[in-house]
Structures are given as C-alpha cells and as structure tokens.
Amino acid sequence: MSRRSVKLTGARWVAVAGVAALTIIVVVLASLALQRSRGETAAQPHPVPSFTLGVTTPTPTPTPEAPSPAPAASRADERFLTTGSAVWWRGVAGQCGVTEPLIEKSDDGGATWTDVTPRYLGIGQVLGLSAFTAADAEMVAAVGPACEVEALRTYTDGQFWEPYPEVLAASRYLDAADPSVVVFPGEPVTAPCPVPTGLRTSGDTAALICDGIAWVRTGAEWTALAPTGVAALTLVGSDILLAHADAACEGTAVSRVAANDPAGVQPVGCAAGTDPVESTAVSTSNGDVLLWSGDALAVLGGVV
C-alpha cells in the first residue's frame, strides 16, 4: 500500500470520528434540552388536594359588625271589623306620617258604608276599634303630630269623636312605636314576635298573629294555636275564631279554637270567593261570622 493511500485512509477515519463525536454532542444536547423541558412542565403549579386527618382547624370567624337598626314596622293595611246591633264599624289602620287611616260605619248591615274618619283630630293610625253599645264605638288611635296614643269615643254615629283618658287607661293595644310591646293595664307585655298584628282581647284572654300563626295568652305565657296561614282573628268569649288558609276551602276557612285547648281546631265554615292572602278582618253578629276580605264582605250564617 502506498504512503498516499495510508494518508487518505487516516484522514477518512478522522472525518468519521469527527462526525461521530459531533453526533454524540448533538444527542447529548438534545437529551439535556428534553430533560430541561420536562422539568419545566413538571414544575408548573397544580391544585393541592386537601385532606382531613382527624383534626380540623376551624376557619377564623371575622368579627361581626354592629347590626343596622331594623326598619320601622308597617301595619298600615291591618283591618278592623266590629258590630253593634244598630251600627257596624270597620277600619284600616294606616301608619303615622305615611298612610292615612280610614274609619267607616254602616247603618244597613254592611250594604253601604260612610266614611267617618276624624281627620279634624289629626288621626294618624288606628290601633284598635270596637263597638261598645248598639250604635256607639270607641277606638285607640295615634293622634296629632307626635302620634300620641288616645282612646276616642263617638256618641254621634261617628260624626264627632272625643278623647277619654280613663278608657285609654283600661285599654289593651299594640304600642304604636314598638309593636313588639302589648300595652296592658298595669304593665306592658312582650309579644311572641317582633311585629305582631291583629291583637284582640276579651276579659283575661288576648290573641294576636305572628307570621300567619295565631297566639293566645290567658295567663303569663303565650301559646301558639294549630292552624297556619292565619289572616285575621276575633274572640268569642274565651274562644278564638280564626280566618285562615286551608286546602279544603276555595276561599278563606274559618275555624274555632278554645283558649284552653290550642290544638283542638273546630271547622266553622268556608267563605268562598275571598282570599286569605288579602288584608282581612273577621267579626261576629247574632251568630253569624262576618269576613271582610279585599273588597268582599262575606257572611257565614248561624255558625257561632
């Protein structure tokens, strides 16, 4: 073999070796780049699962802020219905400085009504209304710019009303400023809820409504009565007559509950064509039940 051939062969091996070395370097660099790339992907953040291992650390409770004062309760739509043998009376409570109250009387058994609201006295809210003779009525009302509570009576068929302090002293009513207080002669009593309505009293018995539930008080405690969806109530002696919703009545159901048996509900009748969701008042006259609901005055004859 000539010297020239040996030199060529040696040069060829050097070239091959160089290519091989370069290839190895490329592979190594590529591998490092791939590993770095994989390492960066694995380092991306992921949600960390949470576990409970027997002991749970409670989340700190933020310090509560002082509650805002509750808005004044509105009883503007509360209704009253009461009857003497000669005159029937009805009213809508109104609210001092917001909604004017309304007092009406009927001389023909509810066929027609006449507005007898004593606006000249600055009446702002009616808290109670009752007939105390065949033709005369009395009410507890908030009167004047300060909404001062007074007991008013009429002996003139509703034409004129006059204050009677002695009547007020013996009256029971929901406080005009704070309806959670029931004013009784002697000392106030706390109602079973913040904003009751429909207070009615007879002798030692008092009853009112809290969120569709009627409550009765004959001693020192309030007791809830069985029916729900109560829209109005009145007292017949120590019994409570309730106007309430009932699936069996396509209107307003009327039931009777004895004060000493709050779970003993006795169905009285169904006033068809009325709606217990409407503002409602219930009363009695000569054994009939009278129900004033919406624009309707229903009569259930001879049931009490």
Domains and CATH numbers, the chain: 73-182 (no CATH), 191-304 (2.130.10.150)
Check residue 74 and give its pLDDT. 52
Q: In 3D, which of 214, 220, 222, 177 has the Cα closest to residue 197?
A: 214
Check residue 122 and give its pLDDT. 97
Amino acid at 299: V
Q: Give the pLDDT confidence of 14-29 residue by residue, as tens digits.
A: 333 443 443 443 333 3
Q: What are phi and psi of 151, to 5 degrees?
A: -100, 125
Q: Give me Rg for the CA atoms of the chain.
A: 41
On the CB side of 50, CA atoms within 13 Å amount to: 4
Place of tokens 């291992």: 53
Place of tokens 């953040």: 45
Please give the average pLDDT of every successive group of 10 residues along the chain, which has 304 residues: 39 37 38 38 33 32 35 72 97 96 97 97 97 97 96 97 97 94 92 96 94 93 95 95 96 95 93 95 96 95 90
C-alpha to C-alpha distance for 63 and 154, rounded to whole angstroms: 56
pTM for the whole structure: 0.75
Q: Give the pLDDT confidence of 129-159 residue by residue, as tens digits.
A: 999 999 999 999 999 999 999 999 999 999 9
b/e string for 206-218 if b means 16 or more Cβ within 10 A? bbbbbeebbbbbe
Check residue 188 and give its pLDDT. 93
* Whether the Cβ atoms of residue 230 and residue 209 lie closer than 8 Å to each other: yes
